[in-house]
Structure 1
Amino acid sequence: MPPVPDGRPSAPGTPVRVRYTKWDGSPHWAYDGIWLGRDEHGEWVGYPRGTRYSRPGRDFEASWSSVGLFPDAGWTPGFNFDGYRTPIYVDVSSTPTWSRDADGGYTVTMHDLDLDVVLRSVGEPYIDDEDEFAEHRAKYGYPDEVVARVEADADAVLAAMQRFEAPFDGATAERWRHRLEELAAG
């Protein structure tokens, strides 16, 4: 395992709060998981079945397990298991920022920048929410350099998914799923 970067978890099973905001800082998705470890792709966080996901106007409890990856890049994929209809869902975002919580846990935060790269259980991966990106670009005044980076990141992630490159190769996320199951079993 690569060395532990400052300000990030180092013990598997450490609680992690995941917090997405919109560009203006308003809340978006919020949920909690456990830190699984790190590899050459970044930090991995697990979400067992029953994890509660919430955002303004929507709240649900997942009937599937998943693992999330938080690289030092502007995209954050979720890999979903247990037959969930969307095996891979990538939020194009700001680069994740880690902070230490007073209770010993950690929080990872990033701005959701609207574009998503999605792979459903049937079909090819695709870029989604281009209309929302255009609307929020005007509403929030995304700087031109942010727009260019978001579009380039979405294109690069789509290409990596189409080529089944790690971490989008199936095997990489599956290794972390096994780590989640080991930690959940106790």
Structure 2
Amino acid sequence: MTALRPGDQVRVVMTKWRHRPHWRFEGTFLGSDEHGDWIGFAAGSTMSRPGASYVAPVDQVVLVPAAGDDLLRGWVATFHAPHGPIHTYVDMTTPPTWHVVDGVAQVHAVDLDLDVVRGLTGRVWIDDEDELAQHRVELDYPDDVVALAVATAERIQAAVTDRVAPFDGSAERWLRQHRSDGVDPT
């Protein structure tokens, strides 16, 4: 893939198991650091999936984990600017991959239902365990995929709870940079 530059358009494409469409949205590449690639989404951005859409009430930045061991990369994190509905939302996914489609950089991952959420009060929880149980049967998730999603959710929940990087406030500089001028803050 061609190297991205701050300000380049990025499309995020999440699917569900067996290539079922899920959330899609457009953002701006902000830059990379030791944690991975950062994508900005402005307040008012529309995110859509079949049968639903969502308009972002505040700026958000998404972190796509850095290259490395795929057993540690099965997630995509979204950090909300102040006054958003939540602070942090982490989707458990297959390891994200980058592609260029029709000249636009695209990151893709399969959403594996489980999410780790930090609410505005600081409470951290794993969400959608019921959805994982249902889809495990309905969509015939392989046992190793389920085991990885559960283990990743537990690991990410501990990292978010303990404020371990990148869940330690690392996103704040990217949120500030995204709101200001779109230039890599490093």
Q: Give the TM-score normalised by structure 2.
A: 0.90
Per the alignment, in what secondary structure is the counterpart of residue 113 of structure 1?
strand
For residue 44 of structure 1, report the CA deviation from its aligned partner.
Answer: 0.6
Partner letter of residue 181 of structure 1?
Answer: R
Of 4, 21, 29 in structure 2, the residue corresponding to residue 35 of structure 1 is 29
Q: Kindly report which structure 2 residues correspond to 1:98-137, keeping only aligned pairs within 5 A, or say none.
A: 98-103=98-103, 105-137=104-136
For residue 181 of structure 1, report the CA deviation from its aligned partner.
Answer: 1.9
- 1:178 matches 2:172: no
CA distance, structure 1, for counterparts of residue 64 and residue 81 of structure 2: 18
Per the alignment, in what secondary structure is the counterpart of residue 90 of structure 1?
strand
For residue 101 of structure 1, report the CA deviation from its aligned partner.
Answer: 2.6
Per the alignment, in what secondary structure is the counterpart of residue 63 of structure 1?
coil
Partner letter of residue 132 of structure 1?
Answer: E
CA distance, structure 1, for counterparts of residue 106 and residue 114 of structure 2: 23
Q: Kindly report which structure 2 residues correspond to 1:1-20, keeping only aligned pairs within 5 A, or say none.
A: 7=1, 9-20=3-14
- 1:148-186: CA deviation from partner (whole Å, max 9, x where unpaired): 11111000000001111111112x10111122123359x
CA distance, structure 2, for counterparts of residue 114 and residue 175 of structure 1: 29
Per the alignment, in what secondary structure is the counterpart of residue 85 of structure 2?
coil
CA distance, structure 2, for counterparts of residue 9 and residue 129 of structure 1: 35
For residue 76 of structure 1, report the CA deviation from its aligned partner.
Answer: 0.5
Of 48, 52, 57 in structure 1, the residue corresponding to residue 46 of structure 2 is 52
Per the alignment, in what secondary structure is the counterpart of residue 18 of structure 2?
coil
Could you say which residue in structure 2 is the equivalent of 1:96? 96
- 1:22-53: CA deviation from partner (whole Å, max 9, x where unpaired): 00101100100011111111111000111111
CA distance, structure 2, for counterparts of residue 164 and residue 8 of structure 1: 33
Q: Call closer, same or farther: CA 1:35–1:135 in 2, change over 3 Å.
A: same
CA distance, structure 2, for counterparts of residue 82 and residue 92 of structure 1: 23
Query: What is the Cα-based RMSD across aligned positions, in Å?
Result: 1.4
Per the alignment, in what secondary structure is the counterpart of residue 150 of structure 2?
helix
Q: Determine if contact 2:30/2:182 at 8 Å carries over to the other structure.
A: no
Which residues of structure 2 form unaligned runs of 5+?
68-72
CA distance, structure 1, for counterparts of residue 76 and residue 2 of structure 2: 16
CA distance, structure 2, for counterparts of residue 148 and residue 16 of structure 1: 30
CA distance, structure 1, for counterparts of residue 14 and residue 7 of structure 2: 21
CA distance, structure 2, for counterparts of residue 47 and residue 26 of structure 1: 24
Could you say which residue in structure 1 is the equivalent of 2:78? 78
Identity %: 42
Partner letter of residue 117 of structure 1?
Answer: V
Q: Determine if contact 2:6/2:182 at 8 Å carries over to the other structure.
A: no
- 1:37-93: CA deviation from partner (whole Å, max 9, x where unpaired): 111111110001111111111113222100000114101010001301211000000
CA distance, structure 2, for counterparts of residue 91 and residue 29 of structure 1: 11
Which residues of structure 1 form unaligned runs of 5+?
1-6
